[in-house]
Amino acid sequence: MNEKNKEKHFTVIVAPHDEDGSFSIRIPLWLCQLTCLLLLIFFFGLLSLLYQYRELSAVDRDNSYLKEIHRAQQNKIDEIEHETAQLFNKMHEIEGMTEKVAENLGLEPPQEEK
């Protein structure tokens, strides 16, 4: 038979300890090569996924930290907004009292500044 036409095989011979006979498994060489190639692709794909997971995990930690800062800043803004509303109400009360005092003393009410 011509060697170019002869198909190459990978042969595994199994010889059990407790039996007399051994047997062999013949696998076409191209199938072994294809299996190795697919295993390499799988391995590098898995490494790529692990790398992306680590990167996304770091981004998630950063996002969590930024969300915490945002929450604290929003609470501070709400607190300042509440204080401003209280000061605005007190200012209106003082303006009302000023008008009453001016009225009781017979003075003209003060003009509002714009």
Average pLDDT on 105-111 reads 77
- DSSP code at position 113: P
Amino acid at 43: F
> Would you give the distance in Å from CA 72 to the centre of its chain?
20
* Chain segment 33-87, per-residue pLDDT in tens: 999 999 999 999 999 999 999 999 999 999 999 999 999 999 999 999 999 999 9
pLDDT at 90 over 90: yes
Supply the pLDDT for residue 1.
43
Collapsed DSSP state (helix, strand, coil) of residue 13: strand
Q: 14: which strand partners? A: 23
This model's pTM is above 0.85: no
Written as six digits, the tokens of 53 are 């997971």
Does the structure show a pLDDT above 60 at 3?
no
pLDDT of 113 above 70: no
19 pLDDT exceeds 80?
no
